[in-house]
């Protein structure tokens, strides 16, 4: 049991990656659309590229969306409006008029015979309540069909124009009065009837909507069927009209049948295999070409998280409306990976992610082509991401590539530009603007995952930062030495294509440990007193080598990134404090080299190897007397060759060719620093 636990502990990193691999695969497969894939590819208006296609089973041909929309709109336009009738209102109004005729009409209508007045009043009431008076005004068209409901029974049908609205009461009264030659009494009649006329018809919205929904539910979404074995389309035949609709119906039926309960697990398993294959390729790439990234579980998690995030966002957009698919800023992915890692890893991961997105998006070939081309442009154009202008220029180039590629695809598909969808270009512009979000996103990732980008390195390179100011105050000689080393290291890194910004920052902070005992280092001894004179060689060597440990402690307290701390740890490798070692050797026959050696480790990257060379060259160059180009060349060769001979660069991925290039840069820089001057007359 103990051996098993020990084995688990030793392999915990690989176990974690395995679990991460499985979890990411499951998540991505879960996000995939729950449907099978039709094995044929076709486009409207284009020739059928495959062999003659016969119906593999009986299936119904679906109507087009436009046909269904027309049917729905026709039903909505012809839908009957149902109104509830209050049949007590009319008799109530007649009763009120009858009472007024007996008691209250002597003054206003004294010149009209009561019999005539009775006839006119009843006729006005009959006209108003022939179909009914509306309780409120509606905006329905006049020819809209209506039905009047008296309780549960339909009383009569008609048009909406038959109903009387509030504003039509006066014209109806006027029409009856004209008929009987009583127009001079219009004001009196209007005043009379407005006192007791009441609406008796109200719209029954719930019943009207229910009837309409029942009618919409009866819509048939198919138009005929195709039997098994029937020829659907021949090779080379143009896919359009009924053939296109038959193919779309077959595709829909095929996908629904494939993703049936019986084959659900098989299709799911097939998706999982493909996703696992893609993620496995990524892990193998990291294992073979980016071993430092592969060994770091945080970085592997970061890569898998970003892939899953892009697939998640794209799935949300496709589920909402696939026409917005190009708004998703996929090019953020290579930008982020280039900021934290390198261009090759960024492009490789981007291509794999786009391949996975091909399962989700419509027109997958067009999408894959556009996104891969845009990713390549992103990698090739974006350099020095910390410079804001570079990002804006790159985003403009990415947007331009999107537009050009989409335009070309559209012309190929349609054969003209007359029907081009200009709004799609707006989506590309919005995608470009969304890509600018990469700057705050990088900052968030730095805090969440503890990574370091060039933006953070730029901030750290500021000599007015708290730590570098403290170094310049406590150890001014060391600070000046660090600046010189930074200049040499940056030039060397640029020469061989290493990360110049990282190298410069590492050089600026590599000797911060000397702040603890600044006077024990010759560059800070301004008084001419050497405190090492009072110490033994072993004690002096320990103080000198401890500046590496002290530097790591100070860096940790000031939250410097691990990538910068690596320079502090490795800038002396496992070399010996030669001066005190030789001094001790004079006094003793046997001397333990470990007492005079730096703790290491040796440099394990191009950048840390560059710093080791430049640090040694700059420090030793102070001892050059009457330097000439010959002396400088021999001086550089001797120091770097000694480091190579000691095996200090065995763990760094740096070649002999690159070391020779660095030597040339250092020789040139030292020659410029120690250039000879002519003597000026006094």
Start-to-end Cα distance in the chain: 88
For residues 560-578, average pLDDT:
89
Question: Cis omega (within 30 of 0) on the bond before 166?
Answer: no
Q: How many CB atoms lie within 10 A of CB 163?
A: 23
Cα 206 from chain centroid (whole Å):
44
d(CA 608, CA 646): 16
Residues 6+ apart with CB under 8 A from 500: 490, 493, 494
Q: Report the DSSP beta bridge partners of residue 225.
A: 60
Identify the band that residue 673 occupies on the pLDDT scale cut at 50, 70 and 90. confident
Residue reference for tokens 């299709």: 267
Between 35 and 238, the more confident residue is 238
d(CA 541, CA 572): 13
Task: Please report the pLDDT score of residue 219 as a whole number.
Answer: 84
Q: How many CB atoms lie within 10 A of CB 51?
A: 9
- List Cα–Cα distances, 384 to 238, 301, 402, in angstroms: 50, 25, 23
Task: Please report the pLDDT score of residue 126 as a whole number.
Answer: 86
Identify the band that residue 22 occupies on the pLDDT scale cut at 50, 70 and 90. very high
Three-state SS letters, 130-183: CCCEECCCCCCCCCCEEEEEECCEEEEEEEHHHCECHHHHHHHHHHHHHHHCCH
Phi, psi of 433 (to 5 degrees): -65, -40
Residues 6+ apart with CB under 8 A from 238: 45, 46, 47, 48
For residues 374-384, average pLDDT:
80
> Contact, 379 vs 338, CB < 8 A?
yes
- List Cα–Cα distances, 587 to 142, 314, 520, 530, 537, in angstroms: 119, 73, 22, 20, 10
> Contact, 105 vs 121, CB < 8 A?
no
Characterize 452-466 residue by residue with b for buried, 16 or more Cβ atoms within 10 angstroms of its Cβ, and e for exposed.
bbbbbbbebbeeeee
Task: Please report the pLDDT score of residue 321 as a whole number.
Answer: 78
d(CA 172, CA 29): 71
By mean pLDDT, which of 29-33, 43-47, 125-129, 526-530 is the weakest? 43-47
Res 166 pLDDT > 60 = yes
By mean pLDDT, which of 38-52, 159-173, 414-428 is the weakest? 38-52
Task: Please report the pLDDT score of residue 257 as a whole number.
Answer: 60
Res 493 pLDDT > 90 = yes
Q: Report the DSSP beta bridge partners of residue 81.
A: 146
Sign of the Cα torsion 259, 261, 266, 270 reads positive
Task: Please report the pLDDT score of residue 260 as a whole number.
Answer: 56
By mean pLDDT, which of 206-210, 233-237, 269-273 is the weakest? 233-237
Residue reference for tokens 């193998």: 284
Cα 491 from chain centroid (whole Å):
36
For residues 463-486, average pLDDT:
92
3-state secondary structure of 54: strand
Altogether, the residues listed in the chain come to a count of 682
Between 513 and 531, the more confident residue is 513
Q: Report the DSSP beta bridge partners of residue 428.
A: none
Cα 67 from chain centroid (whole Å):
36
Beta strands 145-150; 81-85: pairing state: parallel
Task: Please report the pLDDT score of residue 109 as a whole number.
Answer: 67
Task: Please report the pLDDT score of residue 682 as a whole number.
Answer: 55
> Contact, 499 vs 607, CB < 8 A?
yes
Most confident region among 141-150, 169-178, 303-312, 360-369 by mean pLDDT: 303-312
Phi, psi of 528 (to 5 degrees): 90, -5
Per cent of the chain over pLDDT 90 is: 26
Sign of the Cα torsion 441, 445, 448, 452 reads negative
By mean pLDDT, which of 181-195, 216-230, 246-260 is the weakest? 246-260
3-state secondary structure of 211: helix
Task: Please report the pLDDT score of residue 190 as a whole number.
Answer: 80
Delimit the domains of the chain by residue range: 2-27+264-449, 37-63+220-258, 74-215, 467-673
Identify the band that residue 620 occupies on the pLDDT scale cut at 50, 70 and 90. confident
Mean pLDDT of the chain: 84
Sign of the Cα torsion 404, 405, 406, 410 reads positive
Identify the band that residue 43 occupies on the pLDDT scale cut at 50, 70 and 90. low
Three-state SS letters, 560-619: CCHHHHHHHHHCCCCCECHHHHHHHHHHCCCCCHHHHECCCCCCCCHHHHHHHHHHHHHH
pLDDT tens-digit series, residues 626-658: 778 888 889 899 999 999 999 999 998 899 999
d(CA 350, CA 433): 19
d(CA 376, CA 387): 20
The pair of three-digit structure tokens given for residue 627, joined into one six-digit string: 């330097």
d(CA 131, CA 121): 17
Q: How many CB atoms lie within 10 A of CB 409?
A: 16
Between 103 and 262, the more confident residue is 103
The pair of three-digit structure tokens given for residue 296, joined into one six-digit string: 């770091």
pLDDT tens-digit series, residues 74-101: 888 888 889 988 888 888 888 888 887 7
d(CA 518, CA 524): 6
Res 420 pLDDT > 90 = no
Identify the band that residue 154 occupies on the pLDDT scale cut at 50, 70 and 90. confident
Task: Return the DSSP state at 419.
Answer: T
Judge residue 654's burial from the number of C-beta atoms within 10 Å of its C-beta, 0-12 exposed, 13-18 middle, 19 or more buried: buried
CATH 3.30.1460 fits 467-673, yes or no: no
Identify the band that residue 65 occupies on the pLDDT scale cut at 50, 70 and 90. confident
Task: Please report the pLDDT score of residue 678 as a whole number.
Answer: 46
By C-alpha distance, which of 461, 441, 439 is closest to 449? 441
Res 495 pLDDT > 90 = yes
- List Cα–Cα distances, 202 to 132, 208, 429, 630, in angstroms: 9, 12, 52, 109
Task: Please report the pLDDT score of residue 40 as a whole number.
Answer: 66
Res 115 pLDDT > 80 = no
d(CA 297, CA 153): 76
Res 36 pLDDT > 60 = no
- List Cα–Cα distances, 318 to 17, 315, 325, 327, 417, in angstroms: 30, 5, 6, 11, 26
pLDDT tens-digit series, residues 323-364: 788 888 898 899 899 888 888 999 999 999 999 998 888 777
Between 540 and 34, the more confident residue is 540
- List Cα–Cα distances, 230 to 52, 234, 246, in angstroms: 11, 11, 11
pTM of the model: 0.63
Residues 6+ apart with CB under 8 A from 207: 82, 149
Sign of the Cα torsion 346, 351, 356, 361 reads positive
> Contact, 84 vs 149, CB < 8 A?
yes
Res 261 pLDDT > 60 = no
The region, left, alpha or beta by phi > 0 then psi within -120 to 50, assigned to residue 59 is: beta
Beta strands 145-150; 153-159: pairing state: antiparallel
């Amino acid at each position: 049991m103990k051996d098993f636990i020990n084995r688990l502990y030793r392999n915990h990193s690989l176990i974690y990656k395995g679990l991460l691999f499985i979890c990411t695969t499951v998540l991505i497969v879960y996000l995939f659309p729950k449907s099978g894939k039709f094995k044929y590819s076709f486009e409207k208006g284009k020739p059928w590229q495959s062999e003659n296609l016969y119906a593999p089973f009986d299936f119904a041909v679906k109507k087009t969306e436009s046909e269904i929309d027309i049917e729905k709109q026709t039903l909505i336009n012809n839908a009957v409006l149902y109104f509830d009738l209050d049949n007590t209102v009319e008799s109530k109004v007649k009763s009120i008029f009858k009472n007024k005729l007996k008691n209250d009409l002597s003054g206003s209508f004294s010149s009209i015979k009561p019999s005539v007045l009775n006839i006119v009043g009843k006729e006005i009431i009959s006209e108003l309540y022939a179909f009914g008076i509306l309780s409120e005004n509606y905006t329905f068209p006049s020819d809209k069909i209506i039905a009047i409901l008296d309780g549960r029974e339909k009383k009569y049908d008609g048009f909406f124009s038959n109903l009387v609205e509030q504003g039509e009461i006066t014209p109806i009264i006027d029409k009856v009065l004209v008929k009987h030659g009583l127009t001079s009494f219009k004001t009196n009649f209007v005043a009379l009837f407005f006192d007791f006329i009441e609406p008796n018809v109200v719209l029954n919205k719930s019943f009207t909507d229910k009837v309409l929904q029942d009618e919409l539910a009866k819509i048939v979404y198919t138009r005929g069927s195709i039997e098994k074995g029937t020829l659907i389309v021949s090779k080379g035949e143009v896919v359009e009209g009924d053939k296109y609709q038959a193919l779309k119906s077959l595709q829909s039926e095929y996908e629904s049948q494939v993703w049936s309960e019986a084959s659900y697990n098989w299709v799911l398993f097939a998706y999982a295999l493909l996703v696992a294959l893609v993620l496995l390729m990524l892990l193998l790439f990291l294992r073979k070409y980016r071993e430092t990234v592969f060994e770091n579980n945080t970085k592997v998690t970061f890569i898998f998280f970003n892939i899953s995030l892009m697939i998640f966002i794209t799935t949300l957009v496709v589920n909402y409306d696939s026409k917005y698919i190009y708004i998703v800023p996929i090019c953020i992915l290579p930008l982020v990976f280039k900021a934290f890692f390198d261009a090759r890893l960024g492009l490789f991961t981007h291509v794999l992610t786009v391949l996975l997105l091909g399962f989700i998006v419509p027109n997958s070939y067009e999408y894959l082509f556009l996104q891969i081309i845009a990713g390549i442009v992103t990698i090739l154009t974006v350099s020095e991401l910390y410079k804001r202008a570079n990002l804006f220029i790159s985003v403009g180039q990415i947007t331009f590539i999107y537009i050009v590629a989409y335009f070309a695809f559209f012309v190929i598909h349609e054969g003209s530009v007359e029907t081009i969808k200009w709004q799609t270009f707006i989506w590309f512009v919005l995608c470009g603007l969304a890509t600018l979000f990469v700057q705050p996103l990088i900052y968030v990732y730095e805090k969440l995952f503890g990574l370091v980008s060039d933006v953070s390195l730029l901030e750290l390179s500021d000599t007015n930062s708290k730590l570098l100011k403290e170094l310049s105050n406590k150890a001014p000689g060391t600070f000046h030495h660090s600046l010189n080393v930074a200049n040499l290291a940056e030039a060397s890194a640029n020469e061989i294509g290493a990360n110049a910004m990282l190298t410069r920052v590492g050089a600026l902070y590599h000797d911060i440990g000397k702040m603890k005992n600044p006077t024990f280092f010759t560059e800070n001894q301004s008084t001419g007193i050497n405190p090492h004179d009072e110490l033994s060689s072993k004690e002096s060597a320990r103080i000198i080598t401890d500046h590496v440990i002290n530097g790591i402690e100070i860096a940790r307290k000031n939250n410097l990134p691990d990538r910068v701390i690596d320079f502090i740890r490795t800038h002396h490798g496992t070399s010996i404090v030669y001066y005190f070692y030789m001094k001790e050797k004079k006094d003793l026959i046997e001397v333990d080299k470990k007492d005079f050696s730096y703790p290491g480790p040796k440099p394990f990257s191009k950048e840390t190897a560059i710093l080791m060379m430049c640090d040694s060259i700059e420090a030793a160059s102070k001892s050059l007397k009457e330097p000439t180009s010959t002396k400088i060349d021999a001086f550089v060769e001797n120091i770097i060759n000694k480091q190579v001979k000691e095996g200090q660069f065995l763990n760094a991925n740096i070649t002999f060719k690159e070391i020779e290039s660095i030597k040339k840069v250092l020789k040139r820089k030292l020659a410029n620093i120690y250039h000879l001057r002519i003597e000026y007359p006094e």
